[in-house]
Structure 1
Amino acid sequence: MATDVPVRPADAFAGPPMPFRPDRPDRGRVAVRLRRLIGVREDVLDYVPEERPRYTRYGVVVLNTALLAGLSMAVALATYRSGLPLTSVITVAVAWSGVILALDSWLVSTTHGIPPGRLLRTVLPRLVISLLLSISIAEPLLFQLFDKEIRQQIAVSNDEQVKHYEGMLIRCNPKTGEVDGSAACHDYQLNVKNSPAQLAKSIADNAAATKIMQARVDGINKAQSGKNSIATKECEPSKQNWVGRHYYTTEICENAKADAKSYHNSSRIGFYEGQLRKLTTTGSTLSAQQDRASASYGPALQRSVAAAEHKRRSELADDGLLTRAHALEAVAWNDWFAALIFVVVHLLLLGIDSMPVLGKLMSGSTTYDRLLVSRFETSRRIHADEIEVQYACAEMEHEVQRHRVQLETTERMHRLEHEHRLAQAERSLKLRAELDRRAANLLRGDRG
């Protein structure tokens, strides 16, 4: 019976067991891409496969934030720019989602491999940037959540502004037509034609101009009458000269008549009389208009007030971003419970939108981060060793080059010395040959 029980399992010699670390690479494409989105290195994560779910969900958080940003932009464009085509809204929303995805991916990827002691001061600046981004994402969604209350507040606020505007128009434009020149009525003046006050002022101005023109015409006529009287007096028959059978006017008479005629031409009495007739006709017309204006000005003023009120209401109908923000502020701080809901929802949206960086601060330093720190330190050491090796190689190469230069210099110096000695020997031979030649010539001369 004992021989039937195997001493070892049947697969004991099937082969060497798989190493405990690193683990097999993850084959899930979606999970790998989500982790790659936040800059996680799979070859390092293989040594801590227990943290794969953590970083996979981290990638999901970043992706969700980008999708939420695109949804927020689409809601904002559809709400505030309702005239935009759907393709433009989708294009801008997708582009904004991509921008937020790139920024959050960069913010998260720069937090990997931070030592525990430097985590807080490294993450805090990134958290500030993330909060700024989250505000731009959360506000349109917040406006959409409180859309009904915001519209009610805008309607109430617009009614109050229109009623105040109407009251100022009525106050600053009385039915008598008198102009209120106070600083409060500077922006509430209406230009209604043929008001009783304007016509009364026009009549007064026309009467004053008529009086002035009448005085001028009377003065010219009086002066003309005086000159005509002088001419008539100087031209009487008693003052004429009798020559033969005819009377001849004197030179004084001719001068008086010429002076009267010249004054008539230069005084422009015809022009001034025409102006006086026009002023008189205008006065009659204005008096008739004043009689009619007392009955027609009231309805005309009411129509102008109604038109200005309608224009003001149309201007307030555009609920832009600032208008909705002021309305949301009024709704939020209307009572303490509304303020509490506003703050809680606002903080919730900000927390969701800033979760990519906030999650890193909450989770702290992980084993993956410590492995990255070790890898960074190893890389730094390897780089430092590589630099030292390169420096040593360069130093030895310089020594070889220095030694080569020294040897070449010594060789060149020996060559130069050898060439110098050869030159000296040749000069000595030439000198000896010259001396021998001269000695032989001297000997031949003595014999001769």
Structure 2
Amino acid sequence: MTDSPATDRAVSERFDLARRLRVLTGVDESLLARVGYERNRYTALGGVVLGTSVIAAFSMWNFATEALGRASFLAVIPTVIWMLFILNLDRWLVTPQPNTRRRVGPLLLRLMIALVLGAVVAEPLVLRIFATAVEERIADERNGDLDRLRGNLLRCNPVPSATDVSSPAGCGRYVLSFGATPGGQSDELSSLRSESAALQKRVDRDNDKLEGIDTEVRNECRHLIRIASTGFYQRTSECLRLRAKAKDYRSTHRTDENERRLAAMHGRMAKMEGKLTASRGTFLQARAEGIKQRVAKERAKQKEIGVLERMGALDGLASGNAVLFAGIWLVRALFVLLDALPVLVKFLSGESAYDRMLTSESNSAVKIHSEQVRLTERRAMADIEIAQEAIEQEVRRSRAESEAAHRELVAAVNIRLRKAVNGLEEELRRTSGV
């Protein structure tokens, strides 16, 4: 059993790739068959429409993966939706319309829509092309932000040297909180150092004075005098006086007590300096840990690179390099033109024979439809007039029947009256004859 020619033709049309491409242009195959030499033109236009939708799908795939931060199956959903949307929109933009030469407004509107969509489609592709430079700039900017944060944290959290220390200007959000600081010990150590310095000056002054007296004592007591009565040698009275003076000076100025007190102060200062060193080490460790946590928290916010961040980095790169600026805008213009290419190819190629035939058929269809509407209107008006005439005839017939019935009723009444009058006259005559 062999297939019929109609079945073979239907199967060939089903698998005809060129025919499927022409479907994307919105042409009528039955009308296009009359100008078969233009099939190649619309087949090529369908390929352009399909190509722009594929470019748009690739652009949306890049946008979705950048927004999600990774390649995911979820990115396929917006990619397919965007591709079908662009495919259908381009199909609407290039679908032949009758009387296109007479309507400039729709043409300009379609070109504007195509250019706007081209700009939307072009941006993710431009970001993909310059992805390496963009990511390097973003990495440098993020590292710079972290370095500035670390520097501000160090500047706004210095090792306190007193209990009451005001933060530097502009450190509102950079001040860290600590359980304990070495500020109190620093105040106490500073006070002790001041007292120790004052006491040291006093002790040095007393020691210098006492050293002068002791020198006089040594010089004077070096001389011995012989007592004539005993023959023994003894110290001079001046030596004894100077010794008494030295003893009295030590007693009145408390030099020994002050030296012991000064030694005790030095011991306390040594212990406090050890504690202060340990406290500063603890503070520095706590500050380093706080800065580390703050920087880690800030770094955690810098997760995946977003689309807006990429666009800002790309503009930053372009603003400082004229060559790169020109290259970026050339690539953008290229993708914009590629996306607007179906509309440009359609409306810049001039009016074709198919367009003229479509315009003629459209105008003819409008005329035929108008005449059919008028014919239908006339038929409806005729039916209405016929119905109105039938109703008027029915009214007249009913009125005539009513008048005839009235006349018959009047005649019957008159007949009964006459019979009654005649009977009454006969009765009167009989009565009068008797």
What TM-score results when the alignment is normalised by the length of structure 1?
0.69
C-alpha distance in 1 between matches for 2:381 and 2:296 = 89
Contact 1:173 1:179 in 2 (8 A): no
In structure 2, the residue matched to 1:377 is 363
What code does the residue aligned with 1:171 have? R
CA–CA separation in structure 1 for the residues paired with 2:184 and 2:83: 62
Range 343-352 or range 185-194, more displaced: 185-194
Cα shift readout 1:367-392 (whole Å, capped 9, x = no counterpart):
22222221121111111111221122
Quick one: which amino acid aligns to residue 43 of structure 2? T
Is 1:35 the counterpart of 2:22? The answer is yes
The root-mean-square deviation of aligned C-alpha atoms, in Å, is 2.8
Counterpart pick for 1:363 among 349, 357, 363: 349
Structure 1 alignment gaps of length 5 or more: 1-25, 202-286
Structure 1 residue 405: Cα displacement? 2.2
Q: Does 1:423 align with 2:406?
A: no
- Output the CA distance in 2 between the equivalents of 1:407 and 1:31: 67
Q: Does 1:147 align with 2:134?
A: no
**81, 100, 105: which one pairs with 1:115?**
100
SS at match of 1:424: helix
Question: Does the 8 A contact of 2:119 with 2:332 survive in 1?
Answer: no
**Segment of structure 1 superposing worse, 423-432 or 387-396:** 387-396
- The equivalent position to 1:75 in structure 2, one of 62, 70, 77, is 62
Which of 147, 150, 162 is the equivalent residue of 1:166? 150
1:192 to 2:168 alignment: no
1:261-300 deviation per Cα after TM superposition (whole angstroms, max 9, x unaligned): xxxxxxxxxxxxxxxxxxxxxxxxxx99878533421232
Residues 26-425 of structure 1: matches in 2 within 5 Å?
29-83=16-70, 85=72, 87-109=73-95, 112-118=97-103, 120-176=104-160, 178-180=165-167, 182=169, 184-197=170-183, 292-425=278-411
Distance 2:28 2:184 in 1: 85
Instruction: Measure the CA separation in 1 of the matches of 2:143 and 2:277.
Output: 38
TM-score, L = length of structure 2: 0.71
Residue identity matched to 2:158: P
- Please give the per-residue CA displacement for 1:163-211, whole angstroms capped at 9, x wherever unaligned: 22222222222222734263x222222223312348889xxxxxxxxxx
Note closer, same or farther for the CA distance 1:48–1:315 as it changes in structure 2 (3 Å cut): same
Q: Distance in 2 between matches of 1:147 and 1:291?
A: 50
Residues 190 and 372 of structure 1: is their aligned pair in 2 closer, same or farther, counting only changes over 3 Å?
A: same
Tell me the residue number matched to 2:266: none
Moved more, 310-319 or 185-194: 310-319
* Inter-partner Cα distance in structure 1 for 2:67 and 2:36: 47
Matches of 2:307 and 2:185, distance apart in 1: 47
* Amino acid of the structure 2 residue aligned with 1:415: E
Q: Call closer, same or farther: CA 1:366–1:196 in 2, change over 3 Å.
A: farther
User: Is contact 1:134-1:350 (8 Å) kept?
Assistant: yes
**Larger-Rg structure:** 2
Spell out, residue by residue over 1:293-352, the C-alpha distance to the aligned partner (whole angstroms, 9 max, x if none): 334212321232233223323323421111111111122232111111111111001111
Give percent identity, aligned residues only: 28
Question: Quick one: structure 1 residues 317 and 393, their matched pair in 2 at CA, closer, same or farther if it must change by over 3 Å?
Answer: closer
C-alpha change, 1:197 and 1:382, in structure 2 (3 Å) is farther
- Figure out how many residues of one structure are paired with residues of the other and give that number: 336
Q: CA deviation at 1:430?
A: 0.5
